[in-house]
Structure 1
């Protein structure tokens, strides 16, 4: 494994452990989250072990791990300079490591239906959406570790809205989605081409499916098509697809990018 890959995995692991420590310390005990099988259209199967009580909503989380593994093993694309390739590899591998972590966290929430797991699931969603913003900014501003850290810290801090209002998380997530789409459009205009435009369109479509299908989980269950494979399940399929499209979009832009000679390197 390349040093940049190891560094990316370590950074995501440390950040995830810190988030778990904060949650376990009870900082977000007052946050309103949905806990209990009644919040899902998929009926639990009593004969299955607890980690498969809702089999389809549980097993879909394997897809995040497979996606993260695939992109972690895939070669980084970028300008031919070795330093630029190392940085492109780090950006890619941080995003891949986030997918590797997110799958088990979501599965833990599904399996346990306890408040801390639900809070952690929500909280880790925000920095995942924030990372493409940092990646896009790197195409314009070069390698700015302090900026990347500031974006992730601001994203993590925005979960504080969930303590202030029952819909605080939804507000923070909505702002993240709008910021990602806006930054992606800007990056596409400056660096993109036909292929990146297709990936961006598919990513936005997948994101829309992720939001709508999850919100309409119970309403869709009246239709036979969504009674076994429910809206929540398909929303997670869309989530994996938008993750993959984000990888394709950002690596495509990185491949096209020609870095300025005078760009800062610290």
Structure 2
């Protein structure tokens, strides 16, 4: 776990340092509660002023801890354990960033909230390459570095982040579909479909947050909240898909 922790913490700290400079002053981020359909509860502490969208971050951390500490596969190799632990730690570290963004509405955590999304999506094709024995830790480092640097598009274009994120999502889905056709079975197909549906829910519900708020069912637990639920499920089913594929490759080698 030390290797995985080092892998996550070092870029995490570098990004935090850069986000707190003037480098990203021109990046388009939302810094008001008006961006969200959920109503602020004024008499709540600032950490849970927007309770549902704040507390959902606990689910990210619990899900990450489950896959970090509770998952057991006696046949798991060192590299396989490393890829799983990195992905789980990304979920655990991402949650406080999202939470802090809502709590303080400042530019640095808003930038980090966007920025960290990119290497998380990038880790899916990296893990798939590990499963297919097509990569090394050095390649994983370079691929993740390219993913982190792609956030630079937000400095050049108004929709730079959305463009980079769209490319990351497309690559993750493409690689997932490709490896499913090559190595998957009915179970992994189910996990892949559930992960893609969760991804679609994550995007669509977030975009329709204010429009959905006209319906009473979305006025407390808003579209943005449910998009975060879908994001947690997207993480979880990606873990299910990738760990099951890993087990399939073990059986094929026996």
Instruction: Give the TM bin, normalised by the shorter chain.
Output: over 0.9
The whole-number CA distance in structure 2 between the counterparts of 1:190 and 1:257 is: 11
Aligned to 1:264: none
The alignment covers a number of residue pairs equal to 253
Matches within 5 A, 1:31-42: 31-42=27-38
From 164, 167, 173, give the equivalent of 1:181.
173
Does the alignment pair 1:20 with 2:16? Answer: yes
Equivalence for 2:77: 85
Q: Contact 1:188–1:196 (CA<8 Å) still a contact in 2? A: yes
SS in 2 for 1:257: helix
Name the CA distance, whole Å, in 1 between partners of 2:134 and 2:71.
20
User: Runs of 4+ in structure 1 displaced over 3 angstroms?
Assistant: 75-78, 258-261
Give the structure 1 partner of residue 111 of structure 2. Answer: 119
How large is the RMSD of aligned CA atoms in angstroms? 1.5
Structure 2 gap ranges (5+): none
Cα shift at 1:12: 0.6
Give the Cα separation in 2 of the matches to 1:19 and 1:127. Answer: 12
Aligned pair partner of 1:73 in 42, 48, 69: 69
Partner of 1:59: 55
Which of residues 81, 104, 124 is equivalent to 1:132? 124
Deviates more, 1:238-247 or 1:189-198: 189-198
| Structure 1 counterpart of 2:45 | 49
1:101 match: 93
Conserved 8 A contact 1:71-1:92: yes
Q: Is the 8 A contact 1:77 1:254 kept in 2?
A: no
What CA distance in whole angstroms lies between the structure 1 residues aligned with 2:115 and 2:150?
A: 9
Listed one character per residue, the Cα deviations across residues 153-197 of structure 1 (whole Å, up to 9, x for unaligned) are 111011011111111111111111000000001111111111100
Match of 1:167 among 138, 143, 159: 159
User: Normalising by structure 1, what TM-score?
Assistant: 0.92
Change (3 A) 1:77 1:192: farther
Per-residue CA shift, 1:42-66, capped at 9, x if unaligned?
0101101111110000000111110
Give, in whole Å, the separation in 2 of the partners of 1:134 and 1:36: 35
Contact 1:64/1:100 (8 A) holds in 2: yes
CA distance in 2, matches of 1:96, 1:72: 5
